[in-house]
Structure 1
Amino acid sequence: MTAPSQPILDEPTRSFVQRCLSAGLVEINDIKKVVVSLQAEGSAFTAKRLAEGLIGAGLLTHWQANKLLAGKSKGFYLGSYRLLRPLGKGGMGVVYLGEHHVMKRLMALKIMPPESVADKRRADRFREEARASAQLDHPNIVRAYDFAEAGGKLYIVMEYIDGIDLQAAVRRDGVMSVPLALDAIRQATCGLAHAHDRGVIHRDIKPSNLMLRTDGVVKVSDMGLARVSWMGIDEQSTNNRLLGTADFVAPEQAINSKSVDARADIYSLGCTLYYLLTGQAPFSGNTIAQRLAKHQTAAPPDVRSIHPDCPNAVAELVMRMMAKRPEDRPKSAAELL
């Protein structure tokens, strides 16, 4: 009597296949094609090897495969979007790359965690971010297209930027040349001028919130802390909490974030220009309190002390943008242009 043949897939691999199907990420016929291909290669069948084959065939992303290998079979879809991978974290949530299941268009989905949705103040603030973003339509601002709720999660559908933020760019490539840094700041200023004209103050301008697309276009992102003049945003509960980022926040914003105007964004943009040219924040300190104190009292640092070849006019521009008193800075982003 002939012994029964051994199954091609062992139990862990069959469980992995079942999770792929249950998650709605892969069709059984596609899995069979990958199995046949792996058989032709003489590869040993394990869940990990099959996952690698599905990734190679473009059927799974690395993030999806790792989640499936870890035993997950849910959380791969949100509304009309298939989640491909995390892109990063914003002021109010995690951002994922998503693909519309019909249109196949790639979008960035900013998702508010379910535990935060129960907090009415935070949920209202997230909705206000969506409303503020929807009012802005400019080539140098990340566009927002939709706001929705699914599976107990609130999310904003935004333009996907194929690139990296300016902080990551400097860490990867080193400090920018003066022309490149000025061009990046000019583009960001164009976007801010559009926002300011519509009553939107960003309040969290920094290198990591300026996205550099692969074609060189710079876009302002993350309106999570924006102050909108025509919205009745309740910020009473933020009185004792810093709104902004300590390395780039304007002196007056650290004291009272509710009363700031466009000149606070200009100060933060000056700090950002300093970072692009030197690779470091303007003020050092072991604690947030120490850095905030320097924003309040220390003279703006001279770029030329680190970047001796920086033209005098550019160094003076940085110091003017970082003036302690708002009235000593350029009055608006439009004036800065």
Structure 2
Amino acid sequence: MSTGREFVGPYRMYHLIRAGALFEIWAVRPVADNTQFAMKWLPPGDRHAKSAAAELKHEFHVGKQLEHKAIIETHDFGTSRKDGTWLIMELFKTPNLKQQIQAGIENLHWRLEEVLDLAADALDSMHDSGWVHRDIKPDNYLVSDDNDVRLIDFNLAMKIPKGLGKLFSSKTPVQGTYSYMAPEQIRGKLCDERTDVYSFGVMVYEMMSGKMPFTATSPAELLQKHLGTKPPDLTMLQKNIQPEFAQLVHRMLAKDPGDRPENLKQFRRELKAGRCFHIKPKKPDPEAADKDNLNQE
């Protein structure tokens, strides 16, 4: 973590939200007013590689083209020798979906359909803007207690090839998060909307069951399972799931992109036409949970 610094460019830093290997996330305010923003900051010094700075600039370029209520707002970008490189975004302080899954999927299930609809709509809007995200995972969705959703992190986003671009697209870099990567992404092949549909399906599988469709003892084994192994049947892991919804999730996880739903619009249509659960889960009672914890102590 960087210390002893009060300003980066025209922004005052007042709260460190998270520190990673390369980037730090800060709550900041412009010097000129009290509006709060989030800053993704690449500090000057040893960590300030040109490639990392270019990633931030790319994320700014993509984010400025996206407009949707469930996509994080992108505001500003800057770089200097003294202050490093920074990206200014909407401040949306809430746990990401991964943290909420780890806290207990029962806390999500009562509102799952609303959250999934907003999350899918945001990603579909990104596709309509011409971009494939390529790193869809619960870590990259922020969800508030009021079911406000924000899709974040456009670092790996690529333009969706259209027309002749599909014929002349070169091999793409193998990038992404191994647990959520589509087979064509692993092979470095053309990525389009259906690549994100696969990753979104992995995320839905995890949200429904609390388990990943594939686990392994090594990265190579995990990637091989994405390429050739059928995931365990969701109806065996989540007894309350509607069979039609389980089938939809498994179609999203098809190895061949042509066997998946064509886009997130199709997912949303099928989601709205049916339901996720046989019996709609009730909102957990925090007071009851506290009593249970006391009884166990």
Asked if 1:243 is matched to 2:175, the reply is: yes
Question: Please, which of 188, 198, 201 is the counterpart of residue 256 of structure 1?
Answer: 188
Q: Rg larger in 1 or in 2?
A: 1
Question: Please, which of 267, 272, 275 is the counterpart of residue 336 of structure 1?
Answer: 267
Question: Please, which of 183, 201, 210 is the counterpart of residue 141 of structure 2?
Answer: 210
On the 8 A contact 1:175/1:279 being kept in 2, the answer is no
Partner of 1:93: 23
**What is the deviation of 1:296?**
0.5
Question: Please, which of 123, 131, 136 is the counterpart of residue 66 of structure 2?
Answer: 136
Distance 2:20 2:75 in 1: 17
Asked if 1:188 is matched to 2:119, the reply is: yes
Instruction: Give the 3 Å change call, closer, same or farther, for CA 118–284 of structure 1 in structure 2.
Output: closer
Partner of 1:226: 157
Please state whether the residue corresponding to 1:164 is helix, strand or coil: coil
Distance 1:99 1:269 in 2: 34
Gaps (5+ residues) in structure 1?
A: 1-62, 231-235
Q: What is the 5 A alignment of 1:1-337?
A: 74-88=4-18, 93-114=23-44, 115-119=46-50, 121-150=51-80, 151-176=82-107, 178=109, 180-229=111-160, 239=173, 242-256=174-188, 259-337=190-268
TM-score normalized by the length of structure 2? 0.79
Distance 2:248 2:153 in 1: 26
Instruction: Give the 3 Å change call, closer, same or farther, for CA 237–117 of structure 1 in structure 2.
Output: farther
Higher helix content, 1 or 2:
1
Aligned AA (2:183): P
Q: Deviations over 1:91-145 (max 9, x none)?
A: 97322111233321211101124345442x4433321211110000100111101
Distance 1:86 1:183 in 2: 31
The count of residues paired between Structure 1 and Structure 2 equals 260
**What is the deviation of 1:272?**
0.4
Please state whether the residue corresponding to 1:86 is helix, strand or coil: strand
Distance 2:53 2:251 in 1: 38
TM-score normalized by the length of structure 1? 0.70
Distance 1:103 1:318 in 2: 46
On the 8 A contact 2:101/2:108 being kept in 1, the answer is no
On the 8 A contact 1:176/1:277 being kept in 2, the answer is no
Highest RCO, 1 vs 2 (Cα 8 Å, sep ≥ 6): 2
Instruction: Give the 3 Å change call, closer, same or farther, for CA 91–331 of structure 1 in structure 2.
Output: farther
